[in-house]
A and B are shown apart, each in its own frame.
Chain A
Amino acid sequence: MTQPGHSGLRWSSWNLLLLLPLGLLITPIFNRTGPALFGLPFYYWFQLAGVAVGVLATSVVFAKTKDKPTAPPPGPDRDVDTLDEGAGA
């Protein structure tokens, strides 16, 4: 039997952030020269700025999905944990 925590896939809406950097594939957005920055045409500095967006996306997803256990401990271990927590309370 498949237990709820044992399904192969786990979903978090934060993961959708990972799609944001794909905007760099829509070339009409940035295929222009102006406005320039430090002499760099828009085309070049816009895509360089994309690096920061990518970092932001992966960092936020990491931070927001960190506290959740990636895999719940298997059955017997979980019982022991619950007992321990109960004993500590």
Chain B
Amino acid sequence: MRWTELVIFVVLFGVVTVMGFVAAKWKAGGSLDHLDEWGLGGRKFGSWITWFLIGGDVYTAYTFVAVPALMFSAGAAGFFALPYTVILYPLAFMPLLRIWSVSRAKGYVTPADFVRGRYGSSVLALLVAITGIVATMPYIALQLVGLEAVLRTLGLNGSGLVGHLPLLIAFVILAVYTYQSGLRAPALIAFVKDILVYVVIIVAVVYLPIKLGGWGEIFQAADEKFKATPAPGDGILLNANNQLQYATLALGSALALFLYPHSLTGVLASRGRNVIKRNMSALPAYSLLLGLLALLGFVAIAAGTKPLINQATGNPDTNTIIPNLFAGQFPAWFAGVAFAAIGIGALVPAAIMSIAAANLWTRNIYKEYFRRDATPKQEAKQAKLASLVVKFGAVAFVLFIDPQFSIDLQLIGGVMILQTLPAVAIALYTRWFHIWGLVGGWIAGMGWGMIMLYNIPSADGKRKHFGASALKLGELNLFGWHPFGGSTVQIYVGFVALVTNLVVAVLITVVARRFKVFNGIDQTEPADYHVDEDSAKLRPVGAH
């Protein structure tokens, strides 16, 4: 047991817990009995809060643990997280402004709300909502995996259910204050989380290389390690086979990120378009941080860090690399701060994700199919309950199922959420696609994406299915035809699935338009996409 670290961790966790409960009264608007308030914090967050909130939401504990772990085991390929988070903001800049405006004008809370309004189709909205919920659930579970990696490094590495107890306690606390305070809780906690994370990583990337003889030495150690392993895909540079995978994975991940309901929640909670524009320039500060953090995977190699054996599964857990590096290289008190940063880093996104999933359930399933006449108050009540269900569902995932399953599901989730791009992102610009084209494209992209993922074994060959998201082009199989037969070049499955989705959507749209099939009613007007905080006749927030 590492007592110093544990005490600091518990103290900081306590501070954050108090903040979570106090948050309900922070910048309080009307009552919390409305999704605009509980689920979107009153739609009035300024530039700073939004920066902390989206930063705290996108750069999760799992990211902080998994990206360096990937660098540790695979090398250069793990660095894709950097180009991904660099191209993300320029790509999202314009579509986010449009979706913010139309959501503000029409009172939309979720991406599926927008699809419902744009196409007047509850089927399409349901598909988008279900995709969002299913893709988000394993993501919440992964936050627990990140939190548990820290708890186990702290010495709370018990076996069986007792081993999971600290995690359970942390999550019950989180669930209760999220229930009470809504989005305001993670927004306030994000300040603490992000400041801690910045301090820890900046200290780590300055202090550790000096201690270990400089970056030159570190890269040499990494190079030697990768040259010594039999695996062909690793190394400090990309090889001929994984460059296309690197680029398509970065692009696909960037396109997917703001389709995740929780990322959009942070955007919709902001006050106006200028807040979003400023943040598109300010959020890359986190990307720089992530890039530096990724390099800590190599620092761990140079420092000779070994992954901890997880007592619950009996396997070495590479996700413990970074916590173990901190424990081995930092003085105890600072390691405690670092662990708290990662631990609190799990709470913020987990809270936002559960709120986003709860919003989707309430707005697009409960209200659409169970209680059409639900009042805003009933909606808020339902969402609060749903957020509890979602969180305990995620805990059950970690307790009763191999954590590997969450990681697999998250891999699948990225491919899935990408399939909502035509219905959400493209629909922001044009209604050319036909409802049935979008539905058909979704089915095709989703179906084929899952088949491709199912057939990919893991790199070490231990698992036959859902092993990775990199598909060898030679194995691309179009009804028995292999267009790139024999090629060992890899590509991101999500990218192939998205192209499939678009092709099918175009084909069906052309046919449906030819036969003049009814294409729903658009409740939005062109001017809605340009509404700003100072526009005249703005829809009141939290109106009953």
Interface residue ranges, A against B (CB under 8 Å): 2, 6-10, 15, 17-22, 24-28, 31-33, 36, 38-41, 43-44, 47-48, 50-51, 53-55, 57-59, 61-62, 66, 70-71, 73-74, 77
Are A24 and B86 also in contact (CB < 8 A) when A41-B237, A58-B280 are?
Answer: yes
Are A54 and B94 also in contact (CB < 8 A) when A32-B237, A39-B219, A70-B530 are?
Answer: no
Q: A residues within 8 A CB of B274? A: 66
- Could you tell me the distance between the alpha carbons of A40 and B509 in the complex, rounded to whole angstroms? 50
B79 touches A25 (CB 8 A): no
Are A71 and B532 also in contact (CB < 8 A) when A22-B87, A39-B216, A41-B219 are?
Answer: yes
A-B residue pairs, 9 tightest by C-beta:
A39-B215, A71-B530, A39-B216, A8-B526, A18-B90, A24-B83, A25-B247, A27-B243, A58-B280
A43 touches B288 (CB 8 A): no
Q: A residues within 8 A CB of B523? A: none
Q: B residues within 8 A CB of A2? A: 526
Which one of B214, B218, B236, B251 contacts A43 once the chains associate, using CB atoms below 8 Å?
B236
0/1 string, B242-263, CB within 8 A of A gives 1 = 0100110011000000000000
Q: A residues within 8 A CB of B278? A: 62
Which one of A26, A47, A61 contacts B82 once the chains associate, using CB atoms below 8 Å?
A47
B527 touches A6 (CB 8 A): yes
B291 touches A48 (CB 8 A): yes
Q: A residues within 8 A CB of B281? A: 55, 58-59, 62
- Whether a CB of chain A sits under 8 angstroms from the CB of B172 is no
Q: A residues within 8 A CB of B465? A: none
A58 touches B236 (CB 8 A): no
B91 touches A18 (CB 8 A): yes
A58 touches B90 (CB 8 A): yes
Q: B residues within 8 A CB of A62? A: 277-278, 280-281
A78 vs chain B, min Cβ distance (A): 10
Q: A residues within 8 A CB of B215? A: 38-40
7 A-B pairs whose Cβ atoms sit less than 8 Å apart in the complex = A8-B429, A24-B83, A39-B214, A43-B76, A57-B90, A62-B278, A71-B101
Which one of A6, A18, A24 contacts B250 once the chains associate, using CB atoms below 8 Å?
A24
Q: Using a CB-CB cutoff of 8 Å, which residues 204-227 of chain B contact chain A?
A: 209, 214-219
A73 touches B83 (CB 8 A): no
- Whether a CB of chain A sits under 8 angstroms from the CB of B93 is yes
- Could you tell me the distance between the alpha carbons of A66 and B276 in the complex, rounded to whole angstroms? 13
- Could you tell me the distance between the alpha carbons of A17 and B531 in the complex, rounded to whole angstroms? 24
Beta-carbon nearest neighbor of B239 in chain A: A31
B530 touches A31 (CB 8 A): no
A54 touches B90 (CB 8 A): yes
B185 vs chain A, min Cβ distance (A): 29
Which one of B273, B526, B536 contacts A77 once the chains associate, using CB atoms below 8 Å?
B536
A74 vs chain B, min Cβ distance (A): 7
B5 vs chain A, min Cβ distance (A): 30
Are A20 and B243 also in contact (CB < 8 A) when A32-B237, A71-B532, A73-B536 are?
Answer: no
- Other than the given A6-B527, A21-B87, A61-B93, 11 more pairs (CB < 8 A) read A18-B94, A22-B251, A27-B238, A28-B243, A39-B209, A39-B215, A40-B219, A53-B86, A54-B89, A70-B273, A74-B527
A54 touches B237 (CB 8 A): no
Beta-carbon nearest neighbor of A12 in chain B: B94
B93 touches A39 (CB 8 A): no
- Could you tell me the distance between the alpha carbons of A19 and B188 in the complex, rounded to whole angstroms? 34
- Whether a CB of chain A sits under 8 angstroms from the CB of B387 is no
Q: Using a CB-CB cutoff of 8 Å, which residues 272-296 of chain B contact chain A?
A: 273-274, 277-278, 280-281, 284, 287-288, 291-292, 295
Q: B residues within 8 A CB of A43? A: 76, 79, 236-238
Which one of A7, A44, A71 contacts B295 once the chains associate, using CB atoms below 8 Å?
A44
Which one of B288, B526, B535 contacts A7 once the chains associate, using CB atoms below 8 Å?
B526
- Could you tell me the distance between the alpha carbons of A8 and B38 in the complex, rounded to whole angstroms? 31
B278 vs chain A, min Cβ distance (A): 7
- Could you tell me the distance between the alpha carbons of A65 and B164 in the complex, rounded to whole angstroms? 52
Which one of B79, B90, B530 contacts A47 once the chains associate, using CB atoms below 8 Å?
B79
B247 touches A54 (CB 8 A): no
- Could you tell me the distance between the alpha carbons of A50 and B80 in the complex, rounded to whole angstroms? 12
A36 touches B536 (CB 8 A): no
- Whether a CB of chain A sits under 8 angstroms from the CB of B442 is no
0/1 string, B156-181, CB within 8 A of A gives 1 = 00000000000000000000000000
